[in-house]
Chains A and B, each alone.
Chain A
Amino acid sequence: GESVGLHLPTLSVQEGDNSIINCAYSNSASDYFIWYKQESGKGPQFIIDIRSNMDKRQGQRVTVLLNKTVKHLSLQIAATQPGDSAVYFCAENIANNNDMRFGAGTRLTVKP
């Protein structure tokens, strides 16, 4: 079946650098996407979302980019901090469906 996936399982960056986490999705009918952050021992925490009628959305230090042509989603974290170390995963919702499909996640490690 179709699923959400990730290009890299791990990402290590230097504190202060920008981080880019990628996600590929395969269902062209997906119209709502979310990025979650999951710290050890905790549940997923909402970071930012985007609908398919947008290409870009910005939050505080985070930006999500959506490329519908190649079915690609990315999360950019500016000036990465040690507190950003976590597993990040994307989720997609297919239009008019009542569930979300989640990717396996990328572990981000921030080196001091």
Chain B
Amino acid sequence: DVKVTQSSRYLVKRTGEKVFLECVQDMDHENMFWYRQDPGLGLRLIYFSYDVKMKEKGDIPEGYSVSREKKERFSLILESASTNQTSMYLCASSLQGVTYEQYFGPGTRLTVT
């Protein structure tokens, strides 16, 4: 079974802090994704990566950056957390290409105070 893990289920940070959200997958998937999910707004893609050290902006990249130094790990970075980044963050992975299903981690509920 594909397993995608995220470093924290719940996280509380203060405004202005630098925040790292880690995601690890164990199925040798090429693609990895970061989404945020907010009530009424559905799932929105922040960034995705189709290979090590490669990244592409999604729909809402502002205020975020990512890092993919190893194939299995994809990190989301909030350079200076703000209250409007309070959200559920979901990581996913898939085989290469658009044809394959994405497998999701359990999510990290981030609260910025």
Q: Do A and B bind each other?
A: no
Q: Which B residues lie at the A interface, using CB under 8 A?
A: none
